[in-house]
Chain A
Amino acid sequence: MEFEAEQAVILASGTEGDNLGILTEELPPALLPVANRPLLSFQLELLEQARGFRQVLVLTFERWLSRLSTYISEHYKGALQVELLVVPNDSSSADALRHIKPKLTSDFVLLAGDVISDVSFHHLADLHRLHRAAVTCLFKQSPPRELVNGTMVKKAKELDGIDFVGMDKEKRRLLYLEPSADCDKGTLGVSQSLLRKEPHLQIHTDLTDAHVYIFSHWVLEVLESKPHFASIKFELVPYLVHKQFLTKPDPVQESVGSSVKPSSSGIPEEFCCCCSVMPHDSGYCVRANSLPSYVQANMDVAKGGLTRFEKLPEVNEAVKEGNFALRSFSADSSRGVGVDVSNGCVIKKSCVGPHCTIGSNVRLTNCIIMDHVKISDKVTIANSIICSNAEICEGVSLKDAQVGFNVTVEAGAVIKGEAISQGDLEDDE
């Protein structure tokens, strides 16, 4: 079975709410390594496996163009026709989409550049076409809260930053979408027109927007007619969801299927929004848009089994004598090519990028070490991210820290919960 949406857009220019700190200072978010694979490769693989995509448009900013084009031309081996498109610097997601409007000719898939998921597009696409939806969204369910003796834990839930997602009983139609940031005065507004059409509404607080959408082509017209929309997630999608209940009553046309009739502007008078929910216990979907989720994604992929993605296959390179690389890594770690490890190291749940040098008696736990990092002897690093070309001197202890590009951490330093970048050091001097 082939998927017919043909065009896919990857917002590699970054989306709202990204917070990766110093990691994206030099590296485009799309090329951040996740278990030694760039993020973008996960999305490309996902689209490739869905088959039937004619063209993948990757949107990026001018400043990242060269690195991305190097990746696509030199490293990407997949069968997709990938086109890199530059959007104006720091344009919002909606602006980026407006910018590439001429390139889009049909319904299209939109992926945020930080999604790692193994969703089946066929299911989404079936829903989308069956209901002739304006937009079909993917949500990931978070695991249920712990039950103690069968009752809910009394702890009140943190509602900041989540979405209130309303759907029908079958979890097919998206009826309501309100980011918690938009709720004023501690109340949730539910319009009466919605309740008149759908008198039973379920509002979920355990769903996360995966930022995987299928849009109908005419949505671009909506985007055009609402020039003040800046964000796809926070403005365009909620608008569409809300709008589906505000169409003028038309007593003649009641049935869902036949009622879509394009008006002069191409925007149908009546439409609906669909959604698909990935249950918490099946399928994988993570957005690497914050440090914790980025680290989590690394660990999940490196561990294997949780996702259907392979970490970069272990390189069967000839290891020089005195390189303990094979022995030091635990099974839930990932190792790039040309890693040189001395004796007495323990590396657990960590990803070490290519061409890193690790001294003796080093302990790495839950770490992400990018490429060309030098780690000297007797270093202990836990829950930290070390960016490319950094150097960690002897006896350093890092915990919950991020070390930026080309940074040298002096011998004996003890750092906890800090982010050190090149800029900081220069300031100090």
Chain B
Amino acid sequence: MVKTKEKDGDLTQQDVLQAVVIADSFVHHFRPITFSVPKVLMPLCNVPMIEYTLECLAAGGVQEIFIFCCVHAQLIEEYVRNSDLVRRLATVAVHVLVSQAPCYSSGDALREIEARGVIKSDFVLVPGDVVANVALGPLIAAHKKRREVDREAVITTVMKRLSPNHVSRRAGEQMVVALAGETGRLLLYEDANAHPEWQHKLRVPLALLQDTDCLQIHRDLYDTHIDICTPELLVLVQDNFDWQDLRRDLIPGVLGQFEYLGKTIYTHILSSEYAARVHDPHTYDMISRDIIQRWTFPIVPDANLLPGCNYHLGRSGVYKEGRLALARSCELQHNCIVGAGTSIGNASKVCESVIGRGCVIGERVNIHGSYLFAGVTVEDGASLVGCILCERVYVGRGAVVPKGSILGPGVRVGEGASLQPFVRLRLPVAEKVDEDDSFGDEDEDEEEEAGAEAADAPPSTLGEGGLGVVCKGGHPASSMRYDRPKLVGPVEGELSEDEDDAEEDVNQVQVDEDAAFEEEVADTVRRGVENNHSVDNLALEVNGLKFAQNRSFADCIVAIVPALLEELPLSGKSKKERLTEVKRCLNKWGALLKRFTQTRSDQVELMAVLAETAVASSDLSDIFELILNYVYERDDDLLPEEAILQWADEAAKDDSTGRELLEHPGTKKFLEWLRNAEEDDDEEDDD
């Protein structure tokens, strides 16, 4: 075995460490920006996002990088060609792979990469929107070591610790990860949101505990989406052609089909390094702040990764580049980046924001927590809070761009306009959008198109001279500055549930069991009626259930009667028709009831259930005395008068449901008559 491995090594030059960068995230969170620019080329702190990923890979000792792109492929190719990447990353061979067929998911991308046959050894798989300063070397070494022990290991996912409530997480994300304590093998990877029944309690399959002595359950892990993979993974993805998303399909697929595939996934938990993925505008905002605050060191703005960059770090986290035209009274408060050639007017304030190159900011402008790409113009007195403005956006005098809004390239906001929060605008396009950032799901896409067309009218709030149409994009929850509910302490309901839990446990279990039994019997009866079983067979089935759960006859009666009567088609019929219907039913199934009424108390129970069922349905309650009369007059003595009278006495005493039926004149009359008849009988007996 060892020998062949060495031979393999010689043939494939295992020393070359490869990486695959998927330059498409296959989601729409950044529309409308991604209509014209691929997400990975979007500026993040004035540097295209993909640069961060490539820098991390190159620093980690990767020697060959494949950038896989599908949408906007020529833009990425151009960028790689023009940006001097090859020379800058001198030790790294960078290849751009353009997908031949349309790719709808990262699964498709991996299948295409497999088909190209470029991957020869263990490789790093990373989306092109990850910012990290992780030292990959030790990770890869650890992965290889693990492979020596467990040859079936296909992926090492890299995660980092992050409090479940941390603001850097995506909104509502509730990752639950379970690892084997001894080995770090991944056993469970789920989003609790996908399991509504997990709202109060996670349900961890016991099978997981059989493989390990110490199961680590984490709510505090953040998936960095950096994976160290073995080439086998590509084959696996090829074989399972239905796997689309790496996280939603591939990982659960490998974990869930462990018995069948035998493949394993391991998890490496970062201790101090930084790694995060730009999923949506919210995380874009968070990661930008992290970069400005230098969590990503050494990848920070003043490292000037790109040729021609010339940022300097000033006090309180203000980065300035080269020739700026700053008015004397403008304030760059803290944590902001200003690109070269930008001018800022008097009394303007900039805070926690990134401003691209060549922007023109007027006087008394307030910019807070916003991202301005290159060439944006903001007129005097405008206010920008928590928004993203793309290239060449124009914001008129005194306009307000509120939180969460994204303005696509070239959009113009008129003078004095005030936009809605979370609005997304782009320039109207003459031709149909075929240069979409993603193909996504077909249906979804069509829906989106339709939505976009419907909203093509410019919003009235755009003001005079405004230019742009509303474009549907991600959910507000994924937007910047979306106020998220904070989860601390027990959630309402959980507390009370658990409070009661202990006390009512015993009773609750009983009630649950009763309900379950009744439901089961009722189902059996309904099925019997529907398929017109014989009374004997149905009785046999119900009897089986009764014995299996050690129930009394009365328990069965309680379940059977409602099942029989509730199914009858009574509504909208006259009294007479309804009575006929009930009679027909009881004619057929009376024998069944008879079998389950063995004692006087069963008979009383039957009476009570009849009453209860009648109360529940107005169709039955107003013919109750007729039903009663019919049942009483049956030959088989199903309900003898003693049982009826006993029920009447009991019902009269307590506040049971039968009370109102007793008040009913018809029932009263019937009972009266019954009592008299009894007396007559007695008299006769006396004689």
Q: Is the CB of A199 within 8 A of B209?
A: no
Of the candidates B149, B198, B204, B205, the one whose C-beta lies within 8 Å of that of A151 is: B149
Residues of A within 8 A of B312 (CB): none
Give the contacts of A154-198 with B (CB-CB under 8 A): 156-157, 159, 164, 166, 180, 183, 185-193, 195-196
Q: Is the CB of A188 within 8 A of B204?
A: yes
Q: Is the CB of B212 within 8 A of A248?
A: no
Residues of A within 8 A of B216 (CB): 200-203
Q: Is the CB of A203 within 8 A of B200?
A: no
Q: Is the CB of A196 within 8 A of B489?
A: yes
Residues of B within 8 A of A206 (CB): 213-214
Cα(A159)–Cα(B208), bound, Å: 11
Is residue A150 within 8 Å, beta carbon to beta carbon, of the partner chain? yes
Q: A249 with B219: in contact, given A164-B209, A206-B213 (CB under 8 Å)?
A: no
Q: How far is the CB of A184 from chain B (nearest CB, A)?
A: 10
Do most interface residues of chain B lie in helix, strand or loop, or is the interface mixed?
Answer: mixed
Cα(A323)–Cα(B505), bound, Å: 63
Q: How far is the CB of A177 from chain B (nearest CB, A)?
A: 14
Residues of A within 8 A of B210 (CB): 156-157, 159
Cα(A249)–Cα(B502), bound, Å: 20
Cα(A166)–Cα(B217), bound, Å: 9
Q: A195 with B164: in contact, given A186-B206, A204-B213 (CB under 8 Å)?
A: yes
Chain A proximity mask over B486-507: 1 for CB below 8 Å, otherwise 0: 0111110011001100110110
Residues of B within 8 A of A149 (CB): 149
Q: Is the CB of A200 within 8 A of B218?
A: yes
Of the candidates B209, B213, B489, B491, the one whose C-beta lies within 8 Å of that of A145 is: B213
Is residue A100 within 8 Å, beta carbon to beta carbon, of the partner chain? no
Residues of A within 8 A of B273 (CB): none
Residues of A within 8 A of B505 (CB): 228
Q: Is the CB of B201 within 8 A of A199?
A: no
Q: How far is the CB of A95 from chain B (nearest CB, A)?
A: 16
Residues of A within 8 A of B212 (CB): 152, 205
Chain A proximity mask over B553-566: 1 for CB below 8 Å, otherwise 0: 00000000000000
Q: Is the CB of A159 within 8 A of B209?
A: yes
Q: Is the CB of B220 within 8 A of A187?
A: no
Residues of B within 8 A of A186 (CB): 205-207
- Which size class do B's interface residues fall under? 35 or more
Q: Is the CB of A159 within 8 A of B206?
A: yes
Q: A249 with B206: in contact, given A192-B198, A205-B213, A228-B505 (CB under 8 Å)?
A: no
Cα(A164)–Cα(B198), bound, Å: 19
Cα(A113)–Cα(B41), bound, Å: 71
In the complex formed, the residue of B with least CB distance to A162 is B209
Residues of B within 8 A of A166 (CB): 217
Residues of B within 8 A of A185 (CB): 203
Is residue B199 within 8 Å, beta carbon to beta carbon, of the partner chain? yes
Of the candidates B161, B199, B200, B211, the one whose C-beta lies within 8 Å of that of A152 is: B211
Of the candidates A151, A188, A201, A245, the one whose C-beta lies within 8 Å of that of B206 is: A188
Cα(A294)–Cα(B212), bound, Å: 28
Q: Is the CB of B495 within 8 A of A200?
A: no
Residues of A within 8 A of B351 (CB): none
Interface centre among A183, A203, A239 (most CB of B within 10 A): A203
Q: Is the CB of B214 within 8 A of A203?
A: yes
Residues of B within 8 A of A152 (CB): 182-183, 211-212
Q: A190 with B204: in contact, given A151-B150, A204-B214 (CB under 8 Å)?
A: yes
Residues of A within 8 A of B203 (CB): 185, 187-189
Residues of A within 8 A of B165 (CB): 196
B-side interface residues toward A, CB under 8 Å? Answer: 149-150, 161, 163-165, 176, 181-183, 192, 198-207, 209-220, 487-491, 494-495, 498-499, 502-503, 505-506
Besides A205-B215, A228-B506, 12 other A-B contacts (C-beta < 8 A): A164-B209, A188-B203, A189-B201, A189-B203, A190-B204, A193-B490, A196-B488, A199-B164, A202-B214, A202-B217, A228-B503, A249-B488
A-B contact pairs, 25 of them (CB 8 A): A145-B213, A149-B149, A157-B209, A166-B217, A180-B206, A187-B204, A187-B205, A188-B204, A190-B202, A196-B165, A196-B488, A199-B163, A199-B164, A200-B218, A200-B219, A201-B218, A204-B214, A205-B209, A205-B214, A206-B213, A228-B505, A245-B490, A246-B494, A248-B495, A249-B490
**Considering the complex of A and B, which 6 residue pairs feature the smallest CB-CB distances, nearest first?**
A249-B489, A199-B220, A199-B219, A206-B213, A187-B203, A189-B201
